[in-house]
Amino acid sequence: MHKHYNGLKTAALFGGIFGLLLLVGAGLASYTNNSSFILLFALLGLATTFYSYWNSDKLAIRAMNAQPVTPEQAPWLYQTVQELSARADQPMPRLYVSPTMSPNAFATGRNPSHAAVCVTQGITQLLDERELRAVLGHELMHVYNRDILTSSVAAAIAGVISTIGQMISFGAMFGGNRDSEDRGSGLGMLAAALLAPLAASVIQMAISRTREFDADQDGSELTGDPLSLASALAKIEQGVAQAPMAPTKDMVNASHMMIANPFGGLNLRQMFSTHPSTADRIMRLEQQAQRMGQ
């Protein structure tokens, strides 16, 4: 049973980001007296995100330069994912290994039947078998909880808000009449244009953090071993600090899928991180272990 109400938190955050979208759209319609183009940009943003969601497994795998592995190439890895998938009564995803030495793992795919789990070479060398099994359980629960859909919808709405914000900025600076009332209105819309995309990004990242907490909890219930996941997270954080991934555009777009922030200390403020702090995650996992009598 969930103790942290992360599903409710996610619903509340979605309500907030939808509210931002409606607020920005209403402001733009009022300022321009023409709201028809809002629909055009909204559909464009949703279409782009749908494409990313539908092809999320290919895009993320390509960003990591990962290669598929067979049971012969990685027998323990294959058998472990097969066992956990069977325990969850779900299809087994495709397995990939990325050659990077930065320790991390992710799952992607639009549904359990079109999913992939990827681990880096670094994480297979850093963790022991119990810890790696706990990480795999976490990643499988991202797929089974439909977190790829959740993050795609959040990204779509945030993208639409950002696009509208850019349009408002342009209109407020260069459009409209020049009397004092319109100048005041323009400045107000410019402020909204700057703040709304920032707020949408913060909410989007907060949604990602709640899904990480859920995957920690559900994955530990699947494996029955929350303490091994706690140990793995501590090791991964240290390993990433020593060997962070380069923040390329493709990697930044895929970073929210990783079990840990792949860029080490580059996220200077926790509010702008797609991942909860490792200390908070470990604390919750230790509490879960106590409830399970461990």
Distances (CA, A) of 180 to 173, 185, 278: 14, 9, 51
- Bridge-partner residues for 94, per DSSP? 116
Q: If you count them, how many residues does the chain have?
A: 294
Report yes or no: 90 and 74 within 8 Å, Cβ to Cβ.
no
| DSSP string of 133-172, one letter each residue | HHHHHHHHHHHHTTHHHHHHHHHHHHHHHHHHHHHHHHHH
Host H or E run for residue 194: helix 180-223
Rg (CA), the chain: 21
User: Looking up tokens 């007296």, which residue turns up?
Assistant: 33
- Bridge-partner residues for 109, per DSSP? 115
Q: Which long-range contacts (CB under 8 A, 24 or more apart) does 274-279 make?
A: 274/205, 274/208, 274/209, 275/208, 275/209, 275/212, 276/209, 276/212, 276/213, 278/233, 278/234, 278/237
φ, ψ dihedrals at 34, nearest 5°: -155, 110
Catalytic, 221? Answer no
Pick the catalytic residue from 131, 139, 212, 237.
Answer: 139
Nearest-10 Cα torsion for 292, 279, 258, 210? 70
CA distance 205 to 284: 19
List residues with catalytic annotation: 139
